[in-house]
Amino acid sequence: MSLRPDPREQTVWPGSRPSLCGLLKWMASDTYHWLGDGYGPHSPPPGEETFTDVHVRHLRQAMGSRVKVIQFNKEQESFNGADWELWIHNRSHGLGFRIQAKRESKEGQYGFRYWLKERDAFQCDLLIHDALVAGCIPVYLLYNHEAWAIRKDAAQMLCGHTAPDLSHYGCSLLSAHHVQAQLFGQALGVSRWISHVQLREMSAPWNQVLCDLKGKSGARGPRGTGMLKAIQRRAEGMERSGWATLQSVDRGDFASPSHACGGTPEVSVGSWLGDATDGEVREPVLRALPERVLGLLEADPLRPPEQPIPTRVVVLYDVTDGEETVNHLVGCVRC
């Protein structure tokens, strides 16, 4: 008798295919409790790399053919300001995030002040520089064990899908420009710089930014364009908010916080939004996927082409895979 399970009976996690919002919320909930347990009765908590690996695994397991995961050589990691890249796309258009994970310490701190000797710069400046080159939005993914009150202006932008026990706060996205603003304050020794608690409060639960469920305005549109635009609108809001914070702090005459701390890296500082960094909210215009990403969509995952700006993992999430039944009822881990 074969022990191999019948493929028709293979479990699609966690029951049937979840929405992206539902899955991200569940993963955030798991992170929140796992981290809380790690600082409590089940020490020590897992590291950032473990969380990232588990998240990529859940995305792959739960989303089936919607998700393509490409893993690269780990050795290149130390030269990079990013852990992974996430592209949400409809095979021709979409948006990419260059992601650096940071785990909240027991005391509510994050390792933002990380200096990469190999490139003589703060990881944050490299994250932004590399994201610009890669055509991605630079973000931190915070792993949290505490909840906070979302600012009213940010809450209006986000979807309303939350976990009853607030554990959806376990994973939140923060514009890297917010962190850059904080590093400038520290580097220049201004009397009051942005605290880590404030940075956390500027972040937003990832499921609420990347929500793929129909909003009040309705339709997904052909090939998921409505959904992609909704996600892009929230991502642009996050980027605009980070950029505005960076412009509001004293930066001396320095190009970046790395320069303010004596580094001489060749990093450019700019926004993914290009010239559209003012406060005005525009209708998002979907961007064509870069050739590099189109190449990854076609590539053999075991023999992927070399990437100009490497990272450990690239996750490609296809929104066009249509009308399958989506389980909206994925709860949080303990509710």
Looking at the Cβ atoms of 82 and 159, the one nearer to Zn ion is 159
Give the contacts of 131 (CB within 8 A, at least 6 positions apart): 82, 98, 137, 138, 176, 272
Nearer to Zn ion, 24 or 132 (CB): 24
CA distance 330 to 24: 10
| Least distance (Å) between residue 202 CB and Zn ion | 20
CB of 238 to Zn ion, least distance (A): 15
Helix axes 176-188, 123-134, angle to 10 degrees: 140
Binding stretches for Zn ion (CB under 5 A): 21, 159, 161, 211, 213
DSSP letter for each residue of 154-219? HHHHS-----TTSGGGGEEEEEHHHHHHHHHHHHHT-SS---HHHHHHH-EEHHHHS--S--TT--
CB of 176 to Zn ion, least distance (A): 23
Measured from the CB atom, is 25 or 251 closer to Zn ion?
A: 25
User: Residue 161 or 312: which CB sits closer to Zn ion?
Assistant: 161
* Minimum distance, C-beta of residue 210 to Zn ion, in the bound complex (Å): 8
Q: Would you call 65 helix, strand, or coil by DSSP?
A: helix
- Residue at shortest CB range from Zn ion: 211
Cα separation of 165 and 84, whole Å? Answer: 29
- CA atoms in the 13 A half-sphere facing the CB of 26: 19
Min separation Cβ 287 and Zn ion, Å: 23
Nearer to Zn ion (CB atom), residue 250 or residue 324? 324
